[in-house]
Amino acid sequence: MQVKRVATYCYDRRQGAKLLTAIAILLLLSSSAFAQTNFRAVVISKTDSTAVPYAAVHIEKPGRDVVTTDSGKFSILLPDNVKQITLHITAIGIKSTIVLDPPFDKVVYIYVDVNSSPLEEFSLIGSSAEEIVRQAIAAIPANYANVSYFDHSFYRRYQKVNNCYVNLSEASPVVMFRLKPEKSMITAQEAFSVTQLRRSKYHPDIMNAKEDNPADLLIENPVYHLEISSLKPQRFASYQFKFDTAGKSNDYVIQYTCNDFSTDHHGISNYDRMGLDGEVWEKGELVIDRETFAIKKISRKGLRHKDYIYKYVPIPNNRFRYANHDYFFEFIEGDLQVEYALHDGRWYLDKIARQYTNEFYTPLFNEKVFVITDNFEWYSQSISRFTTADYVDKFYPIMATAIHNYDSQYWSQINYPFQFANKDTLYHDLSKDGPLENQFSDESSIDEYARKRSKSAGDDGR
């Protein structure tokens, strides 16, 4: 009996080994037949290098359908022995057929054309929005004017005080751009010579409008004043960049946001020394030429953080005492628009406009007494390497706005658009002080700086 049991045991063991071998062979064949690769891809628009969200992707053989995520990604399991795949990608304005060869085990970046036709060529390499901005900044010395020049230009400033326009000043200065090319940038020193000037009746206010000057506006040009601008690359660690997917521009349109700070100082000359870090955040947009990486247009909008608490106040509120005036103020918002134009292979400043709004409160009763919006606009008229002898000795670091001759015939031919105001509304408000022609004529004989000195001396002229 004992021998029989041993023989039976040995017999069963041999049969089990055969069975296990057969099963292993079947599993090996099965795994070989059904091995799969996780194919991952990102669909990106050629137009602006941004991801294409919620696009429908149909994969021929194995005949499956997926939809890209909000970041343009999708994945699908493919048989391991697939030699080629064909993708049909459709979305609003996109209809592309893409053929891909192995390998399929790495992330593939698929660039498609908007309004493309089947079998369009595609690229698997792209740059991020920040990388494009950095390339544009690095290309400044190659793209922009780097030889000093003169610009016969137009300048305008005006205020809106408690919803009423006042203090219009317009001039036609010749601006000397003294340029200094450096390895990674071009710096400028501007000087001004006035040819024509006119202004409406002057209304004094706490924002010192009579001291504003185009020199303060032109330093807002990031191309020639990069170190103090929002485009200084060292600031980018605090920025978030993205492509604008809504537009149909042939250029790169890149938007950015910075929640930590802003270069909008809203009329405070010693802003950096006032300890106002974190008061303002900003967002902006850059339009960049796709071939040369020249920056063609810059927009910047500054907004005050609603929870920011001003530190320099004697009473518990969040308003800052303005200069030596008995008012506290709160910054509301600011706007900067800069545009460049191409001349003979180089880009030149064509327009720059700036606006900022502050609210002013009395410290005793916390009553809002002023809402003041300051507006500044500068337009290029004509560019030259030379100027006449009449102006050679009349260039100054700031534009002189003292006594001048009002030439009504000259001004009748000037009609530059207003960036931030409706012309009819502005002229209507200014006319409350009498006919504009009379104001322009009367103000021409008044020396603003003499008036300022007189006022500071108690209006007695001392």
Q: pTM of the predicted model, to two decimals?
A: 0.69
Contact predicate 284/299, CB 8 Å: yes
Does the pLDDT value for residue 447 go beyond 90? no
- Confidence grade of residue 159 (pLDDT, cut at 50, 70, 90): very high
- pLDDT digits over 242-280, tens only? 998 777 778 999 999 999 999 998 887 777 777 777 899
Supply the mean pLDDT for the chain.
80
Q: Is 328 helix (H, G, I), strand (E, B) or coil?
A: strand
% of the chain beyond a pLDDT of 70? 77
- Confidence grade of residue 49 (pLDDT, cut at 50, 70, 90): confident
Q: Give the distance from CA 272 to its chain's centroid.
A: 21
What is the reported pLDDT for 73?
92
- Confidence grade of residue 390 (pLDDT, cut at 50, 70, 90): low
| Element counts in the chain: helices (H) and strands (E) | 8, 18
Q: Give the distance from CA 293 to its chain's centroid.
A: 15
Q: With respect to CATH, is domain 36-126 assigned 3.30.200.20?
A: no
Residues 436, 425: Cα–Cα separation, whole Å: 13
- pLDDT digits over 321-362, tens only? 555 566 777 899 999 999 999 999 999 999 999 999 998 888
Contact predicate 433/439, CB 8 Å: yes
More confident residue, 194 or 371: 371
Q: Which residues touch 31 (CB under 8 Å, ≥6 apart)?
A: none
* Angle value at C-alpha 268, between 263 and 270, nearest 5 degrees: 90
More confident residue, 440 or 391: 440
- Confidence grade of residue 387 (pLDDT, cut at 50, 70, 90): low
Residues 356, 334: Cα–Cα separation, whole Å: 4
Instruction: Residue 137: name the closest of 219, 226, 217, 49 by CA.
Output: 226
- Confidence grade of residue 8 (pLDDT, cut at 50, 70, 90): very low
Does the pLDDT value for residue 123 go beyond 50? no
What is the reported pLDDT for 371?
93
What is the reported pLDDT for 125?
44
What is the reported pLDDT for 101?
87
What is the reported pLDDT for 416?
95
% of the chain beyond a pLDDT of 90? 44
The mean pLDDT value for 349-376 works out to 89
Residues 294, 92: Cα–Cα separation, whole Å: 29
Contact predicate 333/356, CB 8 Å: yes
- Confidence grade of residue 444 (pLDDT, cut at 50, 70, 90): low
Q: Is 314 helix (H, G, I), strand (E, B) or coil?
A: coil
Domain residue spans in the chain? 36-126, 132-456
What is the reported pLDDT for 117?
39
Residue 126 burial (C-beta neighbours within 10 Å; 0-12, 13-18, 19+): middle
What is the reported pLDDT for 116?
41
What is the reported pLDDT for 314?
52
More confident residue, 328 or 114: 328
What is the reported pLDDT for 113?
83
User: Which range, 68-82, 245-259, 294-308, is most confident?
Assistant: 294-308
